[in-house]
Structure 1
Amino acid sequence: MSENNPQRNVFDAIADPTRRRLVRLLAETDEMPLHELTAHFQMGRTAVSKHLTILKEAGLVLDRKVGRETRFRLNASPLQEVQDWVAFYSKFWSTNMLRLKQLLEEEEE
């Protein structure tokens, strides 16, 4: 997806382990300022801010200004797309494992 595209795919956004960790941190709190988020990583504020921008473009993170500070919070609703995708494959694997079990039981007989 183009860097200039204002709508980023949620799968692209969570593909990076740093961004998944940011999502997790934000899920554990109401909101968190950039300096507190940065304290959880071995990278500078600029790098964390770039990751947050990607999450914001995917609609996963919302921000608001409080004085000179920017606070971030999770908007989990775009993760429903990921949940739906995982649920489909979960059903796929459950069905196929059941078939495999049945085949193995038939071979034993």
Structure 2
Amino acid sequence: MMQTAPLDAVMRSLADPTRRAVFERIARAEETTVAELTRDSGVTQSAISQHLRSLKEAGLVIDRAQGRNVYYRVEQKGLAPLIDWMSHYGAFWSDRFTELRSLLKEMDP
């Protein structure tokens, strides 16, 4: 059985559209600061910081302090619970389509 706590945290974190957009911006930038994420986002620095905290708690981003700046980047293994969950259901549907294909062949005169 799959552990649901990490999966729940990832799904809950990415369910918010603004947070998902922040995650996508970090992924595109490879590494970025709160100030860079706030620029041209239409979201306050405080809100960006809250979204980053949620992404970090879910294991989706990691940070690195350098002087007065904190740099954020995507955690390579952060999406693993979601990928594992999706691959489980991918196999489920693949099996169902194979069964359907066999059934349709049997029904074909």
Is TM-score (shorter-chain normalized) higher than 0.5?
A: yes
Cα drift, residue 108 of structure 1: 2.2
Identity of aligned residues (%): 38
> After the TM superposition, which residues 1-109 of structure 1 pair with which residues of structure 2 at under 5 Å, given as runs?
9-39=9-39, 41-109=41-109
Alpha-carbon distance between aligned partners in 2 of 1:105 and 1:86, rounded to the nearest angstrom: 28
Alpha-carbon distance between aligned partners in 2 of 1:98 and 1:34, rounded to the nearest angstrom: 48
Alpha-carbon distance between aligned partners in 2 of 1:18 and 1:102, rounded to the nearest angstrom: 44
TM-score normalised to the size of structure 1? 0.79
Cα drift, residue 40 of structure 1: 5.1
Unaligned runs of 5+ in 1: 1-7
Cα drift, residue 62 of structure 1: 1.5
Q: Secondary structure at the match of 2:29?
A: coil
| Larger helix percent | 2
**2:51 aligned partner, one-letter code:** H
TM-score normalised to the size of structure 2? 0.79
**1:84 aligned partner, one-letter code:** D
Alpha-carbon distance between aligned partners in 2 of 1:94 and 1:68, rounded to the nearest angstrom: 50
Which range is displaced more, 88-97 or 32-41? 32-41
Alpha-carbon distance between aligned partners in 2 of 1:18 and 1:100, rounded to the nearest angstrom: 40
Alpha-carbon distance between aligned partners in 1 of 2:13 and 2:60, rounded to the nearest angstrom: 8
Cα drift, residue 23 of structure 1: 2.2
Structure 1 runs (4+) deviating above 6 angstroms are: none
Alpha-carbon distance between aligned partners in 1 of 2:40 and 2:77, rounded to the nearest angstrom: 24
**1:97 aligned partner, one-letter code:** F
**1:38 aligned partner, one-letter code:** T
Say what the alpha-carbon RMSD is for the aligned residues. 1.9
Alpha-carbon distance between aligned partners in 2 of 1:40 and 1:53, rounded to the nearest angstrom: 20
Q: Secondary structure at the match of 1:9?
A: helix
